[in-house]
Each structure stands twice: as structure tokens, then as C-alpha cells.
Amino acid sequence: EIDRCVKQLKEQDLQQYEILLGRYAARVSDKQIEQVLGISHATLLRDLAQAEQFVLGVVVALKLSLVC
């Protein structure tokens, strides 16, 4: 389910997906992500927070559906 969620994020917002993957899967530094994507640190932080909230929302929804 998480994989499907991440794929959905990729379809919705490629930049958020790339930031999330860079940070958590590839363990790339923020500075490197900013340079590759050509974005500011503020943009990275904003998009990372939005991507994390998206994934968290899916996880919460999954937990609710398992409980019900």
C-alpha cells in the first residue's frame, strides 16, 4: 500500500516524489537535492513536508480501514 501511495505521489507531484526519494531512499543531502532540482532550501523543506503529510495521510487511512 505504501508503494502505491508513493507512486500516486509521483503522478501528482514529481518534485515532491523526487525529494522524498532523495531524502529517505537514496539518503542524499538536502544540498545535493536542491542543486539537482534547482530549488531553494525553503522550497525543499516545503515540498518535503507536503510529501510527508501525503504519505502520513495514506498510512492513517490504511490503519482506519484495518480497524473498521
What is the tens place of the pLDDT at every residue in 13-47? 999 999 999 999 999 999 999 999 999 999 999 99
CATH number at residue 47: 1.10.10
- The string over 18-56, giving b where at least 16 C-beta atoms fall within 10 Å of a residue's C-beta and e elsewhere, is bbbbbbeeeebeeeebbeebebeeeebeebbeebeebbe
Count: domains in the chain: 1
Alpha-carbon distance of 40 to 37, in angstroms, equals: 9
* pTM reported for the whole predicted model: 0.85
Taking 90 as the threshold, does the pLDDT of residue 68 lie above it? no
Identify the pLDDT of residue 26.
97
9 vs 12: CA distance, rounded Å: 5
The cell for 33 is 537535492
Range of the domain at 25: 2-67
